[in-house]
Structure 1
């Protein structure tokens, strides 16, 4: 009997699950998904977990194809010379190809602040919010999409209309257009969120936040959403990464150091120009990483990255939102959808994401994505707006 080609996917997030399922188009592959948790995390719902309106997890049994083997363990080192993945349990797995889809994490935060980028972070924050009275002041640091969604969620009726201050730094919603930013600001104001633009945070303790302009804000809970990081697995394994830790690849998502290692999702930096960290980018990148492996196995040339963006979906509490429309290269345009309609669209997007994964599990190769994102222009030096 001919031994099957073994492909390991590291990371069970949006990109990793899509990649694992997409590989099943070939019946002669053995596919293993390695993930540190036994359940899928809906990162786009972690702000809901914090206030108890969603658990932000899903069962892998519903999302993975039957031929995908799930190994619940933490990857600690990639031995590219031996084509072996070492695990925290002390065991190791041999591979023929490896898809690196480890995702991203929260950025560094002060000791007294609560992060929101991981399941454990959100659960810890949820426990803290339950321990303090609804009247206790909450400060959210970071004016990006995560900060906006967190601040609005904590100030909503679902959370008891807590007093919330959002400290954005230089600007609220830097990835948005002017009209989109005004839509967000207006809805935050309607929820009673105080927005402070300009000053940065210079200090955080258990009961207060200090700003660079000298002000001190009362804060029984400080939520830190400023910045993202990437696991150091690639760098620790001797593979070259960018300054944030994303694996450096060519335009086919193949590591510039090893043709057997392909990247997908937030941890990929094709040509040193990574796409915006987002679920919207992760799923197509997962499919394209799988396609690179499939092409190599078929003896054909892998296709370069080809995907387009449509915009950014922001929930503002449970009843509001802003859908920022964009050009295919992710540059925002001065058009948006706001209010209740945007909230409904955002909810359908969240539900639809899991639906895409389930469908791909049932019918590998069924997933499709919008293409034509003018990446060639970006490679030639055209700068795109990035969150």
Structure 2
């Protein structure tokens, strides 16, 4: 049984609804116009972003993803995050609940020293800087984190880092001040104790942004970059957690991050379905509105069915996180991470089809929405990794037969 939200959580959700309707969605044309004028590979920040951040803080819609800051459970935060998914370029950052900063803030909150918290966590929570998480590499199958090849070698009171990283989301943003980087400190250690996370300021000598990567031809404002690290030196006090604890820290970071992505994806699916039904009522083909055609009606019904199924799974995972912790919820989170992007891309694809040519270009947000949520089936663990984990758990389970 899904727990009921508190009165405060319901009030915040209502406040978020108004914020989205009255401020965020009307700001999208201004955001898009700035980006179009600046060019697709420009990463400067549209001024409307900071305007929305100020408004969100005034409304108390700030850092709601982190229970220690907001007092909300994951289940109570879920509908707020879902609403933010209606405008993924603007809304998550407007309320300071954007990836990858949320995961990095969680890591710094869980593992950071008081000094690390003062230097990095506090400005992140205040929205003054942004951050990136450097894990994926171009030369290995990064779906298996034990493959990571970037070396972190001890030189007295410093670490020296050498390697290449890519798909480092956020690192092209001019406000990105810090990387949390995962690399190997001891290749001879047991396989899950070889990796360590370290904090690397972006302005450290030897950190080079090689290029920004597009998603299906679209460049995001914050960027997804390829990085080169040539003899990058940071103090050993920049270790996050403990040496050899990087793999465990990555799992702790990715659990909440995965379910937060799923929450936002539900919002994108809801927006796509709303656009689909609106188009179906307004467009006439072969003498009747599209909404009157049985084939279209079936697509609408299938979309609603998929969204509701995905939402229930996402909310069940949230409730288990709240009551029993991330580890207990790991298989539910894996299920959601597979099911929710599948549902979202299916609904968005139907909306594209109903919009015809308008669904393929920037006349609507559908093409960008589809590209991002198709990519979601790869980041934070590809579908195949989650399915393999689920299969192993199911095969090891002792069936409970009816008496």
Q: State TM-score, norm by structure 1.
A: 0.27
Q: State TM-score, norm by structure 2.
A: 0.27
Relative to its length, the structure with more strand (as a share) is: 1
If asked which structure has higher relative contact order (CA below 8 Å, sep 6+), I would say 1
